[in-house]
Structure 1
Amino acid sequence: MSLPLWCLFIAALLVILSKAPAMRAMARMQGGYDNQHPRAQQASLTGAGARGLAAHQNTIEAFPMFAAGVIVAEVFAAGSTVAGVLAVLFIASRIAYIGLYVANIATVRSLVWAAGYLASLGLMLAPLYGS
């Protein structure tokens, strides 16, 4: 399996793992984690818990574009070193983004988000650089 496809697998895992900060905050709330009404409980999160939820939601939003980019790169530039670097850059930026969001480091977070977004765009441009 190619490096971009492994990164796609990791990105899919990040969709779930990125919810950990919000779930931790929910578990600390009075009554603990409300598995019967988790979305209602999420709506009442504040601080780091709310930021964790926002990071999770943004991870969900970023996944389709990255997946499309990986597919384009695999079809038109299989084995490309550039595609591998861009895929790893996306994963690194997502991990950093989640941490920065929860830690409330907004400016750096936005720059890291932009790097991940540009990596996804770069993967979509794979037909231009080939294999």
Structure 2
Amino acid sequence: MTLALWTLLIAAIIPYIFAGLAKSRGDFDNARPRTWLAQVEGWRQRAHWAQLNSYEAFPPFAAAVLTAELTDADQAWVNGLALLFVLLRLAYGAAYITDRPTLRSSLWTAAFACVAGLFVAAAVG
């Protein structure tokens, strides 16, 4: 299995990392998690938002990786872009949690460029 395919698993896990951070307060209500999350503030709220955005970012990334793999795009490029996407998305979450909106937006854009790059690699591959 290629590194790019392994990054699919890693990217699928990223939202759960941010969810765990959002729910790390001792009074988390597992009986009503959405109600509880709606009232959190500060960095936990931003961790929840990073979780939600990570779920949104996963489908295009997965589609791009699978398209690149199926078209036999240059594997070094595919692996590199996929790994860079994962690293950027982790950094994105950290920037979100620490309330650095300009950095967060830059990291989001760079990660999305990786997705576009995977489709380009598939097209020229």
TM-score bin (small chain)? over 0.9
The answer to whether the 8 Å contact 2:82/2:114 transfers is yes
Runs of 4+ in 1 over 6 A off after TM superposition: none
Aligned partners of 1:71, 1:102: CA distance in 2, in Å? Answer: 30
Runs of at least 5 residues in structure 1 that lack an aligned partner in the other structure:
none
**2:91 is matched with which residue: 84, 96, 99?**
96
State the shift of 1:79 in Å: 5.4
Aligned partners of 2:31, 2:59: CA distance in 1, in Å? Answer: 28
The residue type paired with residue 16 of structure 2 is I
The residue type paired with residue 105 of structure 2 is S
**1:111 is matched with which residue: 97, 106, 109?**
106
The answer to whether the 8 Å contact 1:7/1:87 transfers is yes
Aligned partners of 1:55, 1:42: CA distance in 2, in Å? Answer: 13
1:38-70: CA deviation from partner (whole Å, max 9, x where unpaired): 000000011111101000000000000000001
Equivalenced residue count is 125
Q: How does 1:42-53 map to 2 (within 5 A)?
A: 42-53=37-48
> Which residue number corresponds to residue 7 of structure 2?
7
What SS does structure 2 have at the residue aligned with 1:15? helix
The answer to whether the 8 Å contact 1:72/1:126 transfers is no
State the shift of 1:94 in Å: 0.7
What SS does structure 1 have at the residue aligned with 2:40? coil
Q: How does 1:1-131 map to 2 (within 5 A)?
A: 1-24=1-24, 27-28=25-26, 32-78=27-73, 80-130=75-125
The residue type paired with residue 128 of structure 1 is A
Scaled by the length of structure 2, the TM-score of the pair is 0.94
Runs of at least 5 residues in structure 2 that lack an aligned partner in the other structure:
none
Aligned partners of 1:78, 1:3: CA distance in 2, in Å? Answer: 14
1:24-50: CA deviation from partner (whole Å, max 9, x where unpaired): 1xx24xxx1101000000000111111
State the shift of 1:128 in Å: 2.5
Aligned partners of 2:40, 2:91: CA distance in 1, in Å? Answer: 22
